[in-house]
Amino acid sequence: MAKVSRGAREAVEDYIRNVYNPYRLLSRFFLDVSAFRQLQARTASLIAGYSALHFFDHTLYPSDPLEVYVHFQHRREVVDWLVTAGFAFVPSYKQSPDLEFTVTEGYADEIEPSTPWLCGVLTFASARGDRPITIRVMISANTPMELILHTHSSEPQVLQCMDVPISQLPSACMINVISYEKAYCLFPRATLHKRRSLLTSCLRGGYIGSARDIAAIHGRGYEMVDGLNSEEICATTTTSTFVLGWRWIDDCASWVINFDTTDIFPKSSTCAPSLPLTHDPVAVCGFSLRYNIGTKASISFVVLEGPLLRYSYTLGEPDLANRLTIALCSRSPVWAGKFWDEELRGICKQAILGAGNFSELGAVTIRSWIA
């Protein structure tokens, strides 16, 4: 509709701006929504899980918690803000009721050694009238996007192949992310139009998601599919329900909604040589969705991190991570104290163009991202 005329485009944009408004979601949990969004901007925290899904499909389940995925180095600022906002810490049976101790040392009490990407889960509760409100703080070891890609399986496994971690998700419809500036639906045709969710299997053939998780998604109106037919596998990016190949979070296969960020500012750089970050780090994250007749669907990614970056990033192509490491090291020595997060998106595009070759899977999404 937005392509019909200027008037139609303005009408569509006005509709999206009003209906897909972060205040409609966040006002259920916070009295001061602007303050929370400012917290998101300062700490690069993300919202995912059922709340992000319901933001896109306009459903409401009052009992669902708000899942906030935070960087390890920002956990204290997020926790302090929640306490100031009137939320009380609700320790699990394995956690100390002493919040200071738990945030400092005991955050990982209930975390299994097999989940190194997750440092801890802290639950906070409050009440709005007679309605309980729950916030779940998910502390990531590297980057919230890595945690999101892992978390939505109840028993995630990591297979090592040439030191490249491969993670599997039970449900593609759960991969929706909300930052302070944008909302990302990575499989919009499947999630919102077809209401289909692709189950992934581990390479040994067993489902990673528990029966409880699968039943919960199915109970909310989604058809659970465990495989793709030949038409879906060979479909183009514009017609595919589940776009295969190398993906970026904001490529042409995703639906991205821009929020009004007036008076919402990310944290300024504390290091003089570094440029202030004008976007959320998740905007430079990606992954790869592959499909094999035997192992079926799997999502893989590598984590880019290092002393020249303030944050860590997920990438769908291991070779790109190597190229970026070389490119970053050639720009400035570590002792110079400069972080390259603000310029990383441009450096990514230069590295991809310099490689000169696009994989058959994902060529369209790659070209749309670097355009």
Report DSSP letters for 314-364, one per residue.
Answer: EES-HHHHHHHHHHHHHH--GGG----TTTHHHHHHHHHHHH----STTHH
Write the pLDDT tens digit of every residue in 232-272: 777 666 667 788 888 899 998 899 999 999 888 877 656 66
Looking at residue 236, its pLDDT comes to 63
Write the pLDDT tens digit of every residue in 279-295: 999 999 998 888 776 66
Q: Which residues pair with 134 in a beta bridge?
A: 125
More confident residue, 61 or 167: 61
Residue 256 in contact with residue 183, Cβ under 8 Å? yes
Looking at residue 211, its pLDDT comes to 47
More confident residue, 35 or 267: 35
Looking at residue 320, its pLDDT comes to 87
Looking at residue 193, its pLDDT comes to 82
- pLDDT mean across residues, the chain: 78
Looking at residue 17, its pLDDT comes to 76
Looking at residue 268, its pLDDT comes to 66
Cα-based angle 32, 34, 40 (whole degrees, multiple of 5) = 110
3-class secondary structure, 88:
strand
Residue 347's alpha-carbon distances to 36, 179, 300, 323, in angstroms, are 31, 22, 22, 10
Looking at residue 222, its pLDDT comes to 72
Looking at residue 219, its pLDDT comes to 56
More confident residue, 59 or 188: 188
Write the pLDDT tens digit of every residue in 82-124: 999 999 999 988 888 999 998 887 666 556 555 778 888 999 9
More confident residue, 357 or 82: 82
Report the distance separating Cα 243 and Cα 362, nearest Å: 8
Residue 37 in contact with residue 260, Cβ under 8 Å? no
Percent of the chain scoring above 70 in pLDDT? 72
